[in-house]
């Protein structure tokens, strides 16, 4: 099983995915766009595409951010889906999935930075990939926007601050507005990028103080990411075996 990551910023990397890949002995490759690395084009030599987050939005132009090409990333996402790859989007990546499928991203009702509960919907409870999730789980957040919804999309989880936390767009295509992959070593870059907002955390309903975030245990949400990814791989391999 091989995974390809699109990484937009040094401070928003693969996080706990790296540990999971190592534990499962899976292969991976990367397009670190902030270093000028190219996106895959005609050769989609991976089983699962994972598009990570960043401070950009799907409408950010190349003029505004020279190393972020929203249209090319959307094309990559569509190609991966058409070639029956699994596709996972995290934060900005989730918004890009929706955008690639014709559903425009929107501003979230609330800015969320920190650790807050998400709640599974009925569709979330019934999705077998989330069978190890409790109805309510506390996970990471760092966003202003949220993904758009296609006609066939199902919202699997929401929070009080954002009604679209986890979305299933189709089989093996999932968008996570929330973050299960955060690791403690990645906080410094995120915090530095959001210093102005964090300095005024008490003026926002869903922004944690810096001290609260750095002391939060991420063990449970890493377990949740492990459960989800293991389930995804198991079901994906079953499909591939059935196709062969």
Q: What is the distance between the alpha carbons of residues 207 and 187, in angstroms, rounded to a whole number?
A: 14
Share of the chain above pLDDT 70, in %: 100
Q: Compute CA distances 117 → 49, 66, 237, 243, whole Å.
A: 27, 35, 31, 38
Three-class DSSP labels, 158-215: ECCCCCCCEEEEECCEEEECCECCCCHHHHHHHHHHCHHHHHCHHHCCCECCHHHHHC
Q: What is the distance between the alpha carbons of residues 219 and 183, in angstroms, rounded to a whole number?
A: 9
Architecture, CATH, for domain 2-243: 3-Layer(aba) Sandwich (3.40)
| Spans of all domains in the chain | 2-243
- pLDDT digit string, tens, across residues 150-175: 999 999 999 999 999 999 999 999 99
- pLDDT digit string, tens, across residues 51-101: 999 999 999 999 999 999 999 999 999 999 999 999 999 999 999 999 999
Q: What is the distance between the alpha carbons of residues 112 and 130, in angstroms, rounded to a whole number?
A: 23
Share of the chain above pLDDT 90, in %: 85
Burial zone of 227 (CB within 10 Å; 0-12 exposed, 13-18 middle, 19+ buried): middle
> DSSP states of 120-168 as a string?
E-HHHHH-GGGTT--SEEEEEEEEEEE----TT-EEEEE-SS-S-SEEE
242: pLDDT confidence band, cut at 50, 70 and 90? Answer: confident
pLDDT of residue 201: 86
Q: 38 in helix, strand or coil? A: coil
Compute how many other C-beta atoms are within 10 angstroms of the C-beta atom of residue 18.
14
Whether 133 shows a pLDDT value over 90: the answer reads: yes
Closest by CA position to 115, among listed 195, 215, 15: 215
- pLDDT digit string, tens, across residues 47-64: 999 999 999 999 999 999
pLDDT of residue 244: 57
Closest by CA position to 178, among listed 214, 225, 231: 225
Q: 231 in helix, strand or coil? A: helix
Give the angle subtended at the CA of 177 by the CAs of 30 and 150, to the nearest 5°.
Answer: 100
pLDDT of residue 18: 97
Q: What is the distance between the alpha carbons of residues 171 and 151, in angstroms, rounded to a whole number?
A: 14
226: pLDDT confidence band, cut at 50, 70 and 90? Answer: very high
Mean pLDDT of 25-42: 95
Q: What is the distance between the alpha carbons of residues 96 and 133, in angstroms, rounded to a whole number?
A: 25
């Amino acid at each position: 099983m091989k995974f390809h990551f699109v990484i937009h910023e040094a401070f928003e990397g693969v996080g706990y995915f790296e540990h999971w890949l190592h534990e499962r002995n899976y292969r991976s490759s990367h397009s670190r766009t902030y270093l000028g690395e190219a996106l895959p084009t005609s050769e989609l030599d991976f089983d699962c595409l994972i598009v990570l987050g960043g401070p950009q939005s799907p409408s950010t132009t190349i003029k505004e951010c020279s190393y972020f090409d929203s249209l090319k990333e959307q094309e990559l996402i569509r190609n991966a889906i058409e070639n029956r790859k699994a596709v996972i989007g995290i934060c900005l990546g989730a918004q890009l999935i929706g955008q690639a499928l014709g559903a425009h991203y929107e501003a979230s009702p609330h800015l969320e930075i920190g650790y807050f509960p998400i709640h599974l919907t009925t569709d979330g409870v019934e999705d077998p990939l989330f069978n190890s999730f409790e109805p309510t789980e506390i996970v990471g957040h760092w966003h202003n926007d949220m993904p758009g919804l296609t006609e066939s999309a199902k919202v699997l989880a929401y929070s009080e601050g954002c009604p679209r936390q986890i979305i299933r767009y189709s089989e093996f295509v999932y968008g996570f507005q929330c973050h299960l992959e955060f690791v403690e070593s990645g906080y410094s870059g995120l915090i530095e990028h959001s210093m102005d907002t964090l300095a005024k955390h008490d003026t926002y309903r869903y922004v944690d103080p810096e001290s609260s975030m750095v002391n939060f245990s991420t063990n449970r949400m890493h377990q949740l990411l492990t459960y989800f990814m293991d389930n995804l791989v198991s079901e994906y391999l079953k499909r591939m075996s059935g196709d062969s």
